[in-house]
Every structure is written in C-alpha cells, then in structure tokens.
Amino acid sequence: MSHIVQKLSFREKLGYSLGDAATNFFFQTMLMFQNRFYTDTFGISAAAAAWLFLVVRLWDACFDPMVGIASDRTNSRWGKFRPWVLWTALPFGLVFWLTFTTPSFGASTKIIYAWGTYIVLMMLYSANNTPYSALTGVMTEDVDERTSISTYRFFSAMVATLIVQGLTRPLVYKFGHGYDAKGWSITISIYASLCVVFYLITFLSVRERVRPDPKQQTSVKGDIADVFKCRPWVLMFLLTLCIFITLAWRGSSMDYYFNYYVDRAKLIDFLNAVGLGGAAGGQLSWGKTMLNWFGLIVAPDGSNAGGVGFGFFNMTGITLTIVGVLFSKPLSVRFGKKGVFLTGMGAATVVTALIYIVPRDNVTLLFWLSLAWPAAWGPTIPLLWAMIADVADYSEWKTGRRATGFVYAGIVFALKAGLMGGAFTNGVLAAYGYVANVPQTEQALHGIRLSATVFAAIPFALGLVCLAFYPISKELNLRIGDELAERRKKFATE
C-alpha cells in the first residue's frame, strides 16, 4: 500500500507557522519571566504568585476541553478551527499587554488585578491555541507533510523564542531606564502588536482539508470515551504534562539563577570576553552601538549583567535549537519520531540535572552545558505536535469517529497543567526563604540552584517512561494514514 501524498505550498506553511511565532511571544514571556515579573516588579510574594499560577493554570487546563468540544462543533465557511484564530486575535493582544502592565494600586487591589488579567489571558490563550494546534491535523492527510508543517511552525516559534528569551530582559532595562514596570509595559506592547498581526496572517493563509465523515454523530460523551480509551492519547497526555512541567520549572528558575546565583564579576568578565562589555569612557563602536539599541551591552556599573548574560546564553542556545528543529524531519523520516524523541529528551534530562554541579564562578562551563541542552532538545520540538496529529488519526482508525479539536484540547490541557511548574518554582523559592530584590542567603541560593536543575529534571525523566511505551511505530503510522485516506474517498463519493 502506497503512502498518501498531499503536499502544501510554502506560503501556507509559512502563514501557519506565524501563528506559533505569535503564541511564543506570549508563551515564552510567561514561561521565562512571569514569575520574576510578579515577585520583583509587580510586587507580590513568591507564595502569592505560586497560588495564582497553580489555581489559574489548573482552571485554564479544564477550560481547554470546552474549547475543543466547541471548535469540533463549529461550522462556518472558514472551517471549524480557523475562525477561532480570527476571533481571539485582538482581545488576546490587548489582555497580554494589560497582564504585564503594573497599575498604581494598593496591595490588595493589585492581587485582584493580577488574578483578573491572568485568568482572562489564559482563557483567551486556550480559545486561540487549541483550535490553532488542531489545524495541524486537518490541513493535510500526509503524515510526513504534518512533520514538515510542524517543522515550519517550530522554526518560526524558535525565532520568536530567540527574540523573547534573548531581548526581553535587556529591552525592559533599556525602555525602563531603571523603572522596570515601565520597561515591561513598553516591551510587551511591542510583542502584543506582533501577536495580533501574525494571527491575522495565519487565518488568511491556511485551509482545512481533512473533514470527518458527514454522517458522524457528534457526542461529547463519545469524544471523551474515545480519547480515554486511546492508549497513545493517554501516553501523549502524560508526556506533554511532564515536558511542560520541566520547561516551566526550569525556564522560570533560570531567570533567578542568573540574577542571584551566577557570580556577577565572573559573568561580566565572560561578557567582556565575548564582546558585550561597555567601553571605558562610554564610547562604543558602531557594532556595539547597534547591540546597545537592544540593551545587549553591559552597563558601566554592571547592573544589567544578569539580564545581558541571560539573554546571550538564551540567544546562542536558541540558535542551536533552530538548527535542531530543521533536522527534525529528516531524522524522524530516517529513524522514526519515537526514536528521535527518546534520544533527544534523554540527553536533555541528563544535561538539566548536570548543571547543578556547576560552581557559581564557572561561567564558561555553564555556557557549554547551556549549549548542550538545546542541541539535544531541538530536534524533538516539532515531533510532539506531529505525533498528536497521528494520535487523532489512530483514534479515528480505531473508532470510526474523528474529534481533532478534542484530541488537541486534551493535550493542550496537559500543556497548561504542566505550566504549574512555574508554581513549583515559587513554592521552592518560598520554602528556601527567597526575598525579592535583596542579596540571597545561602539557603535561598541553594533553593534556586535545585529548582533550576535537579528538581526540574525529574518530570523529564518521568516523561521518558511514557514515551517508551508509545505504540505508534513509523510503519503503523503510514498504514493508518493510507487506510483512512481510502475510507474518506468512499464517503466523499457517497
């Protein structure tokens, strides 16, 4: 039986990919910086932020299946999932900016503002990202082309990630001129505007081609029963949960790690060596002047060294990640998605834990381990979402019913629940005695160090167990795709 081929244009793949670039302007900001924004700029305690993240993210995770059910039952001239990207674009951008704007309120009113904006933001994220992700499963029936779509998607996502992780802290410092609240508001207004534009481009670019049997009877109870009886879906749910607990835990902890744990004098020496130090007397070459526009030059007093260092480490790591993403499709075609995923995730787990042994004054060793992590993780990034599209096919193949939106909603549920890793960061910091904007005790520094490394590696290790039992091989994947294509030909002619 030959493998079905249904290629998409470069324009459509690129247009679709910009939607994930938009998402990552928000997602990476939340993943890497929201914890410290709330504790050090907005002005709430680590314990209060932990409860905020835990409760809102769990509620939001429960909201995702509702969006999946609704989008599966949406019927419009634009399809089932595209309209949601359009409807949510402008509200999402506005609330994103409001969430990172610090009002001049009292302590109690600030807490109410933080809860209100964050709840609405995460619900809008669900209403946008669940249908957006489901588009991967309905743009084409070609299983290899889905990996190609995911590669485009995550290439754009990594470019946005490069900008956010590399430039956010330096831009906040530059725009704020020492007043971080102003810097955050201006920086996020730029990101939010890009989000709106990119979502609109995605809506205009893509088409939905894979449709369920028109005779299929829709049933919420049936959709729920189908996914929970689907072993690959259950394993992907658990895998996604573990992955995003680690990404949120590690990502949010590393901001504290650079600002408080890494030896500032040694970090400044390292940044001087790579050409990011300011010149004596304040005179900068034209190249450094350009970098300074983005806040990537160390100030004379070294006050922004943590942000510049964190940005530089992230940008070099993400550049390597982008290379890994580009290799994802050829590696998965040759070795299978599962094999590539297991290898990359296993190596990333080891590196995450190994960073614990790095002394605070050995910035060079930290740098090389920080490059090893994206080298391992990069090729795995597109595979998660491509495999979820395969799971939607598997479920239809087994049951005769297709509920793409609900399949993706359940996985986005796991993603959102996994973001409680940020709450774990705050919980660990509070337990170890962290106090914002002051020199930390040795106990607090140990908590920051553990949170960024050993603790964050544990969910990744558990995810490897889930991945080891994933049953859809490369051969079964192709068989399912071909058999479903034959079924669709039959009901298309009836």
Q: Give the DSSP letter string of 338-401.
A: HHHHHHHHHHHHHHHHHGGG--TT-HHHHHHHHHHHHHHHGGGHHHHHHHHHHHHHHHHHHHS-
Reported as a single tens digit per residue, the pLDDT across 65-120 is: 788 778 878 888 888 899 999 999 999 999 999 999 999 888 889 999 999 999 99
Q: How far apart are CA 57 and CA 423, in angstroms?
A: 9
- The pLDDT of residue 74: 82
- Dump pLDDT digits (tens) for 39-60: 899 988 888 888 888 788 777 7
221/493: higher pLDDT? 221
Question: Of 239, 223, 219, which Cα lies nearest the Cα of 417?
Answer: 239
pTM over 0.85: no
Q: What is the pLDDT of residue 96?
A: 97
Higher pLDDT, 315 or 147: 315
**Amino acid at site 172:** V
pLDDT, mean of residues 236-242: 91
Helix axes 381-399, 474-493, angle to 10 degrees: 50
Q: For residues 310 and 443, what is the distance between their CA atoms, to the nearest angstrom?
A: 22
217-223 mean pLDDT: 62
String of b and e for 202-215 (b: at least 16 CB within 10 Å)? Answer: bbebbebebebbee
State the amino acid at position 400 in one-letter form: G
Please enumerate in sequence order all residues whose Cβ is within 8 A of that of 209, keeping only pairs 6 or more positions apart, or say none.
6, 138, 139, 140, 141
pLDDT in tens, 339-387: 999 999 999 999 999 999 999 999 999 999 999 999 999 999 888 877 8
Residue 403: predicted pLDDT: 63
- Residue 439, φ and ψ in degrees, nearest 5: -60, 135
End-to-end CA distance of the chain: 23
Helix (H, G, I), strand (E, B) or coil at 79: coil
Nearest partner of 421 among 253, 245, 254, 256, judged by Cα: 245
| pLDDT of residue 2 exceeding 50 | no
Tens-place pLDDT, residues 111-149: 999 999 999 998 999 899 889 988 887 888 776 787 788
CATH 3.30.70.2860 for the 10-206+218-493 domain, yes or no: no
The type of residue at 353 is A
Q: Which of 384, 391, 407 is nearest to 134 (CA)?
A: 407
The b-or-e profile of 268-289 (16+ CB within 10 A means b, else e) is bebbeeeebbbeeeeeeeeebe
